Structure 1
Amino acid sequence: MRGPFGTYALGAFFGGLLFVGAKAQMKVSSFDGPVTKEELKSFNDYVVTLKPATDNKGNQWVQGHSGEQTKAMGLVYQMAGQQETLDHMLRFCDAVLSERNDLAKAPVGQHKIWTGGIDPVWPNDVTKKPTQTGGGRRRPLWRYLYGSSRDLSQAGGFLDEQQYLKTITGSFERKQDVLCQGLAYMGGKPVPWNQQMMFNYAFMNLCSAHRILNDNPELLGKYKSILTASIDWFFHGGGVQTKKSKKGSTVYDWCYTVLRTTGEDSNHGALDVAGFYRTYIDGNYDITADQMKPFANMFVDVMTLGKEKYVGTVDGKTDGDGHAKPTKNIRSGYLFLAEFWFDACKSMMSADLSVGGKGTGSADGFSRFLWVKNQRAKAK
């Protein structure tokens, strides 16, 4: 069977359609040592039961279940290279592409957005007229590009590159060295860091595709320079403060958008951290472990107050509502940081996972556990 990525296994397609009954659970074999066959099997047995969202209402393809599940499959495939994991991810990627506003039939698609056109975006609320879009509504794009860049290592892939690039860059401009959104959501204001990470994911995947194909060094260089400028802006352009925690460790403090540098909320902070970590593990953008360690120090020494007690902002000073509300669990983006804090790794992972327990239905959390476990095993 062919989707926009090339050939993928029939088993993944029929497995996704025909499975009935309760979902399997992903289970931890151990917190130490290499990732086990049983852990990988439990992950693949779980994702075969998943069905992709049928639209982006409520940001299902952004930070919603289908978006996080697609990302989890990509991460586990990148780590273990199992074909069945890739097959299931491509099933989701085909779904998200088919639901793009300009491709899908009404009522999922064919909505005029704030530009006046039926543009290639994924609106999350079509009840407002004109339909608004923001950086998050382009995040489904990088899910698709992620699948494409992974699939290129297996077979010839497909990238309608100019169309997708337009959806990222068409609505933004620089004002006084600040990347601003020229759209209905936060129009004329700096793009928040979590949204910059969304764009960076797409550029990263385009870079990966061109490296694999070795077909266009000019475009590769262009995409890399845009991504690198965003990363440099955070680390070297005033996006973050470096401080000392009460425990004496070096920590970061930053805010939701550029020009402010303190008190990012826990929810968006986790998305920011996940974006920087993904760029770090790619290995092509000069982010070092030394640059990542203050994120880990910040979570362990500032945000962690005790067992099942995590503060709502990265500066540890305030607890609010919504995205800044304290949590009893660890937001999954922060789990990546256990790679840089080996002493705290087990306590971070065991906050929501257990050995020999009933398992978990959180694909994003479990995939990050597997990733960090693998990183630790390789480092020993």
Structure 2
Amino acid sequence: MATDKSIIGGYGGWASSLIGGVPSLSFRNPQITDLNAWRERAIAKTQELLSSPSKEEPKVVVEKKYVYDGLEIEELSWQLPYGRSTKAVLLKPKGITKPLPAILALHDHAGMKYFGYRKIVKTADDQHPVLTEHQKSDYGGKAWANEIAKRGYVVLVHDTFTFGSRRVFYEDVNGLNWGELDVSKKSDNDPEKPENIATYNKWASEHEHVMSKSLFCAGTTWPGVFLSEDQIALDILSKRKEVDPNRMGCGGLSGGGLRTVYLAGLDHRIKCAVCVGFMTTWNDLILNKSFTHTWMTYTPLLPKFLDFPEILGLRVPLPVMVQNNNQDELYTLPEMKKADQILKDVYAKAKASNKYKAGYYDGPHKFDLEMQKDAFDWFDKWL
């Protein structure tokens, strides 16, 4: 009779045993000695399993230009071959005279799919109250994309798949009952009303399993779609005349940390990365915490080849920082520390220990002002 307990009952120990100890393509395997050959093989397998949709660079439209918060801001859009137009903002210091380092700032998930890039920028004094509260609770009251732009970076923030301008719109859905979400049938159909936003976010959370299953049936994965869209944004950022394409970084909290793991691991145009609030092991998700995480996290079969932190470790010896919160409800602290040790081992084996840094901060899931300062200093050091 099974005595082990987990979020999948007595099957936990068995499921955990399926991935065993060190996965087959881990750089930690003693028999793997050639860094470049290993990385090429491991990236190829990861890309195969991600099965990203093909990319084509879109035409970028400048919708509006203005100055706010001491920054020059451009509101941009581009049309991908699927879905509605992507909205984005580019922030830069005023009066640029030479190319600057650049950051692709990756917005979070936070159970708020109604918003995308707007969650980490501020472009006007009359900010939506939902965004004001979100930045207060998760970001120390700051729009972190603005704050790093002020330090001398060109920053691009874009809506990604199923968020903000790229969200699933109720008028585009067929075959599901939207119920109270169908605000077109209400006398007050303002989608920006906080109660309508809350209703949409609740529905969008419940819709995730539908989207994920449909993506699997289409032969792709949610991380693969994220990677494709983030690489397109990186293409756009790299071709800006104000940007030094050899000094580009990325980072983000939570869902932005997840996107950092895949983008920084697989696209080495990212010369420096900061992953905030999204680091643990597959084992933690098997036994303890998969229920706290979005369907956007998972690439089927990849755990046979790499542990979760080793996706980010594919960028070794390029620099990376991981920031963890000690009381983060999305992970267990022992598994966060195991993930940290895995990355330490990978970087040590590549003789690049100085390029990896992890931080632990008291408090729940967040990217507060202390963490932002440490992250921005890391970008300054390497970019």
Would the TM-score normalized by the shorter structure come out above 0.5? no
Name the structure where strand makes up a greater proportion of residues: 2
Q: Which has the higher contact order (CA 8 A, sep 6+)?
A: 2
Q: What is the TM-score of this pair, normalised by structure 1?
A: 0.30
Q: What is the TM-score of this pair, normalised by structure 2?
A: 0.30
Name the structure where helix makes up a greater proportion of residues: 1
